[in-house]
Structure 1
Amino acid sequence: MINIDFLQVLAGSCTGLLVGLTGVGGGALMTPLLLIVFGVAPLTAVGTDLWFAAITKLFASQVHHKSNLVDWGILRKMWMGSLTMSLVTVGLIRLYPSWTASAGFLNATIAIAIMVTALGLVFQRQLHALGRRFRLNDAEQFKHWQGPLTGMAGGVLGILVSLTSVGAGALGAVFLTYLYPLRLTPPRLVATDIVHAIPLAVLAGFGHLMIGNVNFPLLGTLLLGSIPGAMLGARLATRLPHSVLKFGLATVLLAVGSKLAFAQLH
């Protein structure tokens, strides 16, 4: 007889809905839920969440892809940085397990990543305005650095996501907002950000799978809720106000990140 934890299904459903709507939440929200609510060990939470995010975003991306919203040119530049650094980070996790598997180290790193993610969401509009001003006032210089900075942004995400499973959605969106202020409309930004995270999460997830950090029964239960939630969110993405949703999510993430950080101090 199969026992289904409906609280886990509900957590997956709510997170999936947010992922489909905003591209954010696969790691930033689910990882702390696994740590705080379900009591999962930090490294297992990261490995399980990477597969959760990859599969959830895969279903959400199908809806966005059919709407022709994905910018593949930008994605190729980001993947050059993110996939390379993901391989490096996963390799370090495997070589130095006693250091990277430390609960204190991982919880502190996840807490910092969540709070940085939340701040990125709060100031995303200001960063967009700053990028737009640079793009319009010094177009030649901006375009010269746009490609290399996109690869570097991908590299930062590769390290962060492989280590904590946090950042692919929210920080990816922040980087893209600044670097492509004219090229990406909000729906295209969400779609491109979601698709970027899929191979990154899969690659990092394979690394954690090889180490034994994936809880498959838990993953299956979470996906029961997240897949329909993500598909619904993707269909609603062009109809709901992203700014209000992201501000609310940022508030939640700041609270969660603070709780994790406070727990590390006691």
Structure 2
Amino acid sequence: MEYGYIIAGFAVSFIVGMTGVGGGSLMTPLLLWMGVTPGTAVGTDLLYAAITKASGIVAHQRNRNIDWGITGWLALGSVPAAAITVWALHGIHADTQTVNMVIKLALGLALLLTAVALVCKKALLAFAQRHAADWLNLPPGKLKVVTVLVGVVLGVIVTLSSIGAGALGTLALFLLYPLLQTNRLVGTEIAHAVPLTLVAGLGHAGLGNIDWVLLATLLIGSIPGIYLGSQLTGRIPDHWLRPALATMLVIVGVSLVKPALAALA
């Protein structure tokens, strides 16, 4: 299976490099399909994301593409939320089946939200630009409070599903700060994602939800995958690629949500 995991790391990183779609929305469902338990898939993918995105901070900081103020307010909400969510999971850790069902439900819902974000990205961005003045007229204190609350939501979603730090986080940032330049938006999202996924991943490690061999093999495949995928950026028309990915995410999301709801009912 080690070779299968290397191929999985390569395939997901290749798609991420080519499309920019968050790796968690692809990696975690793939690991579940390969027979990895939900808790281990989420925990391992969180640390995988923290390690792979850490190098991005160096590059973006060198180009001054990170707004550390926004990053700090997001982290003020997301990092404590991640820690509390892990603590809550620890409280029901005796019932492994319940924990796995909760993770499957959160994962399915996060996939559906990511699919909506992919399909409706242009419409949402246009909406944000039309209403930019509404946000700009907010007192700085209120905007910071909203940013912290968005961080809380992201912290819970990412910790339970390993999804959302990329696609949902970037979209949330654009809606809150529509005048933020795209390069600074991406850099700020990466800078926020690293501490969030690191804290959530270490929390899952404390629950025993990390497969260290799996993590290492995924990283081996990801390095050439992200490089080759980035060379093909823009080669496939966006109006074909996004609906195809969104359809796949919806199918997987529904397949996870339905049995999880039935089991928890």
TM-score by length of 1: 0.85
**1:16 maps onto 2:28 in alignment:** no
CA 1:150 to 1:24, structure 2 compared with 1: closer, same or farther past 3 Å? farther
Q: Which amino acid in structure 2 is aligned with residue 91 of structure 1?
A: W
- Over aligned residues, Cα RMSD in angstroms? 2.8
Q: Deviations over 1:87-146 (max 9, x none)?
A: 111111112214575233321221111111211222222222222222236732375642
Query: Which residue does the alignment assign to 2:257?
Result: 261
From 149, 158, 166, give the equivalent of 1:169.
166
From 216, 220, 244, give the equivalent of 1:220.
216
Question: What is the correspondence of 1:77-96 to structure 2 with a 5 Å cutoff?
Answer: 77-96=73-92
From 185, 192, 195, give the equivalent of 2:191.
195
Query: Which residue does the alignment assign to 2:148?
Result: 151
Query: Which residue does the alignment assign to 2:104?
Result: 107
In the TM superposition, residue 211 of structure 1 has moved relative to its aligned partner by 1.4
CA 1:144 to 1:242, structure 2 compared with 1: closer, same or farther past 3 Å? farther
Distance 1:68 1:240 in 2: 28
- In structure 1, list runs of 5 or more residues that go unmatched: none
CA 1:162 to 1:96, structure 2 compared with 1: closer, same or farther past 3 Å? same
Q: Determine helix, strand or coil for the equivalent of 1:141.
A: coil
- In structure 2, list runs of 5 or more residues that go unmatched: none
**1:40 maps onto 2:36 in alignment:** yes
Distance 1:64 1:251 in 2: 32
Q: Which amino acid in structure 1 is aligned with residue 49 of structure 2?
A: A
From 99, 105, 130, give the equivalent of 2:127.
130
Q: Would you say the 8 A contact 1:124–1:177 is kept in 2? A: no
From 64, 68, 73, give the equivalent of 1:72.
68
Q: Which amino acid in structure 2 is aligned with residue 220 of structure 1?
A: A
Q: Which amino acid in structure 2 is aligned with residue 79 of structure 1?
A: A
Q: Would you say the 8 A contact 2:2–2:214 is kept in 1? A: no
In the TM superposition, residue 159 of structure 1 has moved relative to its aligned partner by 0.8
Q: Structure 1 vs Structure 2: percent identity of aligned residues?
A: 41
Q: Would you say the 8 A contact 2:49–2:194 is kept in 1? A: yes
Query: Which residue does the alignment assign to 2:93?
Result: 97
Distance 1:60 1:234 in 2: 14
Distance 1:19 1:150 in 2: 26
Does 254-263 or 85-94 show the bigger shift? 254-263
From 47, 50, 59, give the equivalent of 2:46.
50
Q: Determine helix, strand or coil for the equivalent of 1:57.
A: helix
In the TM superposition, residue 200 of structure 1 has moved relative to its aligned partner by 0.5
How many pairs are equivalent?
260
TM-score by length of 2: 0.85
